[in-house]
A = this chain, B = another copy of it.
Amino acid sequence: MKVSLVKNILQANDRIAEQNRMLFQEKGILALNVMSGPGAGKTTLIERTIRALDGEYRIGVIEGDIQSTYDAEKIAATGAQVVQINTGGACHLDGNMIRETFDQLNLDEIDVLIVENVGNLVCPAEFSVGEKHKVMLLSTPEGDDKPLKYPLMFHESTVLLVNKIDLLPYLDCSVEKIRTEATKINPNLNIFEVSGKTGEGMDAWFNWLRKSANGTA
């Protein structure tokens, strides 16, 4: 009974997410659902991406947090359109929360919509928000055992950004092991090694994003 209930919730979400997806398609918007554990560097990555692609793509952002508006304020400072969702305790975003932001965004002036999910390596992977691609971050301090311990997000994502590579000299973390284990779970995963802090490795991610926005990825 608990299982069928969960299934009903997921199916109801899938219907709304599908409506969002059709709307994004109709408007020519590339929608990305960016997920990771807490503090893996999602907001910094998004800030850098907006600044780097300024003039090429109009990027809009939906910020998901349990509470607070810090992340939306950081994004607003870039000049991008941004809406903050406070989930009030809920551990992930869902299709309905995204739909409810549409009256606060001018979707006709957005080429790429980045949804920053709640920091949680588990639950967000189960709920589509209508994105074309799920993009996940794993930061090197979290350790190289994460793919096998939290497989669903690696399985569902199109892109894995291994972030905070600037910290590698101070950690016992093998990016090679992350690559091997993540690829076992999802052979099609696009893996980029980046540092949101120094900017290292970000060009490969920007190029993937360009290709996706142009419909060729």
Chain B residues with Cβ under 8 A from A145's Cβ?
68, 70
Q: Select one of B68, B70, B146 contacting A39, CB under 8 A.
A: B146
Expressed in whole angstroms, the Cα–Cα distance for A119 and B153 within the complex equals 14
Contact between chains at A91 and B123 (CB < 8 Å): yes
Smallest Cβ-Cβ distance to A144: which chain B residue:
B39
Q: Does residue A150 face the partner (Cβ distance < 8 Å to B)?
A: yes
- Residue of A89, A119, A152, A171 with most chain B CB atoms under a 10 A cut-off: A119
Q: Is the CB of A38 within 8 A of B37?
A: yes
A-B complex: 10 closest residue pairs judged by Cβ atoms: A39-B142, A141-B141, A91-B122, A37-B38, A39-B143, A38-B121, A37-B37, A68-B148, A91-B123, A68-B149
71-111 of chain A: CB within 8 A of chain B: 89, 91
Query: Closest CB of chain B to A93's CB: distance in Å?
Result: 12
- Nearest CB of chain B from residue A13's CB, rounded to whole Å: 12
Q: Say what secondary structure dominates the interface of chain A.
A: loop
Across-interface contacts of A65 in B (CB, < 8 A): 149
B89-A152 in contact (CB<8A): yes
**A to B CB contacts below 8 Å, 20 in the list:** A37-B37, A37-B39, A37-B119, A38-B121, A38-B142, A38-B146, A38-B149, A38-B150, A66-B149, A68-B145, A68-B149, A91-B91, A91-B120, A118-B122, A119-B121, A120-B120, A141-B141, A166-B170, A167-B170, A170-B170
The reply to whether the CB of A139 lies closer than 8 angstroms to some CB of chain B is: yes
Please report the C-alpha to C-alpha distance between residue A122 and residue B93 in the assembled complex, in whole angstroms: 13
Write the residues of chain A forming the contact surface with B, with a CB cutoff of 8 angstroms: 5, 37-39, 65-68, 70, 89, 91, 118-123, 139, 141-143, 145-146, 148-152, 164, 166-167, 170-171
User: When chains A and B are docked, how far (Å) is the Cα of A66 from the Cα of B38?
Assistant: 17
Smallest CB separation, A177 vs chain B (Å): 12
Tell me the bound Cα distance from A119 to B149 in angstroms: 9
How far, in angstroms, from A206 to B166 measured CA to CA in the complex? 32
Q: Which residues of B contact A66 (CB under 8 A)?
A: 122, 149-152
